[in-house]
Amino acid sequence: MSDTNDAPPVRSKGTLETLVEQLSRTLEMFRGSQIDTAPWSPAEHGRLVDFDGLEGYEEVDRYWLNAPFSFASINYDNNENEYHYHVVEPTLDTVEADLLETLYEDVRAPLLYGDEADMDARDEEAVGEAGTEAVLQAELRDRLEEYGVDVDVAGFYRLFYYLWRRFRGFGRIDALMHDPRIEDISCDGYGLPLYAYHEDYQDVETNVSFGEEELDSFVIRLAQQSGRHISVGNPVVETTLDDGSRAELALGQEVTPRGSAFTIRKYSEEPFTPIDLLRFGTYNLDQMAYLWMAIEHNKNVIIAGGTAAGKTTSMNAISMFIPPRSKLITIEDTRELALCHDNWLSSVTRERLDEAANITMYDLLRSSLRHRPEYIIVGEVRGEEAITLFQAMNTGHTTLSTMHADSVQTAINRLENDPINVPRPMVQSLDVLVVQTLARFEGERVRRASEIAEIEGIDQRTGELDYGGAYTWDAVDDTFSQGNRKLMDEIRQERGWSQGDLLRELRQRRRFLKYLWEEEVTQYQAFTTMVNRYYADPDGVMDRIDAPELDSGSGTEASADD
């Protein structure tokens, strides 16, 4: 059975050349073969992939995706003023392509259902070192020797790549999924090129596309592998893939007239930290120190914004400020949050299975209150769960969440009206509302915290909800201006600090964050460790940070704003 969903590029050969090869391979089958599976070396065995560029384009970038099997070539079209993303993978001849179809069937069963313990003694060491990869290589070698096919080392690894891509990778989009610079991948229908959102080149067209049958098959496969069911009767599914990426799937032409479609928001194993947000210019040091103080002192925060504004990324980042021994519960539709926190209970919703009931975000939120958490993080509020979220705020639980809105007033309107309908007296329990935006500055897309507002309560004269601007972004010169920060005065009174104590603490935290920025502490576990050390011994940590400056003979404390 042909698996067109994963068909590799094929290089054509002349009829006579093909016939000679087929006769040669037929003879080899009668006498058997011995396959050389030595580790691949480019100097000894040649390159597995090659690419001379696209005619009419200027290649502006090239980098490996899954070395040595695939790389990306970024090309610029001067006439159309646009970039093109070209995936380069190994090319098989027609005989190798036909052989691959047979291998798909023969290797599939032992690979998926075989027991590693059943492998013979000569493979035991390899299995221990490389697991499934070694199993697949051993199965491929055995099948080729069984067929009597004699391939060189490069040919062996070309076949191995496509088998691995099919059974353990993401098929036709596997190379794109290996690109750390791609944020999401979109397929809009049959025969249409896939688009990728690239961190350097934004929305770019790729050379990857699907035919009708293969796209339907691929969408079904993605759903099944993530434990979801998709069909004509249930044609739209939101799910989380094996690697943690978020996928929105649509099957057939029921709701997407141009055919099956999908969008994959790639999951980053290394989540962004507050230092990353500072590097990107999403926030400045003052804002980050402000949010740190708010999180530590149990203030409720919602981050609002449009699609792709980075709401969840920012919420995940500032959640790293949660004190280390606090009990934390996260509630999500699809798992996206990644934290380095010991006392953390992660929960996700579940669609109905057979006769079982749905487990909704509302159900999880109600249940979470019985776990007596100090902090509750909700992936996104959209409906009835918002009432419970605000009830949790009113009963002393610190909550963080996100929602779709493009301004402070829009966010408040959404909270107070259908389908969320949070009563106005309950909305005033929210302390900080951050609005994040995806904007353009100097020809590039940037994410910025356009507003940070403090909810001040209900105006007794008008009955409207009052809020004040703590920080505002100026899109003209890409700067942040500071407004009235009453929340800091509340924290000062709660802690019994003088105004000087508060300002000194804010300066110290800015200096701490600036040090981590300069030292490039962007790995989330290392960042969390440093924050936890600060909580345990702030003076000791700051003494170590300031020591190099004091040793240099300056004799004065450096300002974080220098």
All structural domains of the chain with their residue ranges = 4-48+90-168, 274-550
C-beta separation of 247 from 239 below 8 A: yes
What does the alpha-carbon distance between residue 456 and residue 183 come to, in Å, rounded to a whole number?
A: 37
C-beta separation of 250 from 236 below 8 A: yes
pLDDT of residue 548: 58
C-beta separation of 265 from 183 below 8 A: yes
Residue 419: asked if its preceding bond is cis (omega within 30°), the reply is yes
Tokens 């229908």, residue? 189
Task: For residue 201, give the amino acid letter.
Answer: Y
pLDDT of residue 22: 55
Query: At a CB cut-off of 8 Å and minimum separation 6, what does 248 contact?
Result: 236, 237, 238, 262, 263
Cα-flanking dihedrals φ and ψ of residue 530, to 5°? -65, -40
Whole-number average pLDDT of the chain: 86
Query: At a CB cut-off of 8 Å and minimum separation 6, what does 511 contact?
Result: 542, 545, 546, 558, 559, 560
Report pLDDT digits (tens) over 431-475: 999 999 999 888 788 999 999 999 999 988 998 999 999 999 999
Q: Quote the Cα angle for 40-137-264, to 5°.
A: 90
What does the alpha-carbon distance between residue 358 and residue 351 come to, in Å, rounded to a whole number?
A: 5
When pLDDT is cut at 50, 70 and 90, the band that residue 3 belongs to is very low
- Say if residue 444 is exposed, middle or buried (CB neighbours under 10 Å; 0-12, 13-18, 19+): exposed
Sign of the C-alpha dihedral computed for residues 28, 31, 34 and 35 taken in this order? positive
CATH code of 274-550, in short, is 3.40.50.300
pLDDT of residue 126: 43
DSSP state letter for 206: E
Q: How many CB atoms lie within 10 A of CB 388?
A: 21
What is the mean pLDDT of the segment spanning 149-175?
90
In the sheet that holds 202-206, the strands lie side by side as: 58-66, 70-77, 82-88, 202-206, 195-198, 182-187, 261-265, 246-250, 236-240
Rg over alpha carbons for the chain, rounded to the nearest Å, is 28
Q: Which two tokens stand for residue 312?
A: 């969840």
What does the alpha-carbon distance between residue 61 and residue 191 come to, in Å, rounded to a whole number?
A: 26
Q: How many CB atoms lie within 10 A of CB 337?
A: 19
When pLDDT is cut at 50, 70 and 90, the band that residue 239 belongs to is confident
Q: Please state which of the ranges 121-130, 276-285, 475-484, 544-553 shows the lowest mean pLDDT.
A: 121-130
Instruction: Kindly give the residue spans of alpha helices, DSSP state H, lying in 149-273.
Output: 153-167, 174-177, 212-225
Does 556 have pLDDT greater than 60? Answer: no
Does 132 have pLDDT greater than 90? Answer: no
Does 122 have pLDDT greater than 50? Answer: no
What is the mean pLDDT of the segment spanning 382-403?
89
The percentage of residues in the chain with a pLDDT greater than 70, rounded to a whole number, is: 86
- Say if residue 33 is exposed, middle or buried (CB neighbours under 10 Å; 0-12, 13-18, 19+): middle
Does 560 have pLDDT greater than 50? Answer: no
What does the alpha-carbon distance between residue 68 and residue 58 come to, in Å, rounded to a whole number?
A: 23
Report pLDDT digits (tens) over 54-102: 999 999 999 999 999 999 999 999 999 999 999 999 998 888 888 898 8
Residue 297, Ramachandran bin (φ over 0: left; ψ between -120 and 50: alpha; else beta): alpha
Q: Which of 132, 116, 114 is nearest to 124 (CA)?
A: 116
